[in-house]
Amino acid sequence: MMTGQQYIDSLRKLNTVIYAFGEKIENFVDHPLFKPHINAAALTYEMAHDPSYEDLVTATSHLTGKKINRFTHIHHSTEDLVKKVKMLRAIAQRTGSCFQRCVGFDGLNALYTTTFEIDQKYGTNYHERVKDYVKYLQETDKMVAGSMTDPKGDRGLTPSKQADPDMFVRVVAKNEKGIVIRGAKAHQTGIINSHEMMVMPTVALGEEDKDYAVACALPVDAAGVIHIFGRQTNDSRKFDQMDQGNACYGAVGGEALTVLEDVFVPWERVFMCGEFDFAGLLVERFACYHRQNYGGCKGGVSDIVIGAAAAMAEMNGVAKASHIRDKLVEMIHLTETIYCGSIACSSQGRPTPSGAYFVDPLLANVTKLNVTRNIYEICRLSHDIAGGLLATLPSEQDLNHPEIGKYVEKYSKGVTSVPAIERIRMTRLLENMTGGTALVESMHGAGSPQAQRVMILRQGNLPHKMKLAKRLASLNKAGEEQN
């Protein structure tokens, strides 16, 4: 298993093509735009070597029997699923931000279970390829980005009906050595500082879309791969120190648009190629694994938001006010509610035909739908408690200015016992964690609320619920109450 520093050093060996703010980035490892995201991911490596977190952040490989980082593990029990959630909350409590390895982790497990069933139907050998790839990741401890979301173009049209066929990633050529893919993947969390990317379809497909039924893995610096870094709220503050709030770890996962311009993938790294009837199953399993996470990681982030809001209340001199205490109670209640959902869907997980475990899909979707609401309310309450300074605090440059800095410091003070600089830093942290990009990620990460609603209706078993009601209402054919 790599340490955090070994992970950072390994990134320097890559030749990743990255553009940001109209410029090609030569040294992304030390660049202020990317360093916080790299630090957050590095902590997932470092904590695996910390004895106090070892039980959560490491596991034993079912393939080799070796000790591995849990982010390269295949779940084989409900205990594995629960430990995953607990691990995510523990890491989020340390970073206060997205640490990015979850997407690839979930994609790996979704592919592991789905390829077993593809092979059962078609006699292919995709599952053995996935197992070999899992062993490769476990041995090298490389970080893999889960690449599912396509640009999609016209959402009312299927992939094969798009005016521009590149709106979804597709296979454009095959030969005895492998395949060539073309298209793009959008909103790619952590891909800038990953070693590998795992391409998967993003929607259920029909036979006319079989060229789009492709799943494969490739290096992020493979020929033809171009990463265009996405803008984030207040991202120019990364060139400052205090104003960015969470200077070490940032706010979100460093998303990018990744272009695949006729990229070659060898057959040993191809895990689906034309099996369109399994695209929907793969998407569903990935989505449920990923929605499972949110009570863990967002629970950990919310723990810090609650702490920051409570600290601001003390700094403002209102910590003992009953309405402040009531709002903090509500924030804690909302946080533990989403965490309960993650633990529940994990505890109710069941084995798939491959032997690997899958979460309860209904509870996983309920968890994520709760996150799209609860996180906004937690952030709203934190803004209520913190006050207007959150939106109007002068800049770090003004604070350090030789003439006006003294005024910024003087009038940013709250209670006498707390230095103004501490109140300023806490304000920036809370602003960073509760505004802009971080909130949008809570809404649309792992799919929009409507995606969860569709799954909840599908998994909710309405016929069974109606049967229960009809039994109590004595609506059976005989007109008598049923047992």
Q: Pick the catalytic residue: 275, 396, 431, 441?
A: 441
Active-site option among 37, 187, 195, 290: 290
CA dist., res. 440 & res. 451, Å (int): 15
CB-based contacts of 333: which residues, under 8 Å, 6+ apart?
Answer: none
Which amino acid, 416? T
Nearest to 229 by CA among 30, 12, 433, 25: 25
- Residue 297 annotated as catalytic: yes
Tell me whether residue 441 is one of the annotated catalytic residues.
Answer: yes
Report d(CA 121, CA 97) in Å as an integer: 41
Catalytic option among 114, 115, 189, 434: 189
Active-site annotation holder among 45, 102, 127, 372: 102
Catalytic site includes residue 330: no
Catalytic residue among 46, 117, 196, 255: 255
227 belongs to the catalytic site? no
Per the annotation, the verdict on 294 as an active-site residue is yes
Judge whether 102 counts as a catalytic residue. yes
Which listed residue (133, 249, 294, 339) is catalytic?
Answer: 294
Q: Which one of 44, 75, 98, 367 is the catalytic residue? A: 98
Give the Å distances, CA to CA, from 307 to 190, 319, 433, 452: 26, 12, 12, 30
Nearest-angstrom CA–CA distance, 367 and 362: 9
Q: Out of 216, 273, 288, 297, pick the active-site residue.
A: 297
Q: Which residue has the tokens 């008598």?
A: 480
CA atoms of 189 and 253, how far apart (whole Å):
5
**From CA 136, how far away is CA 127, in angstroms rounded?**
14
Q: Catalytic residue positions?
A: 98, 102, 189, 255, 290, 294, 297, 441
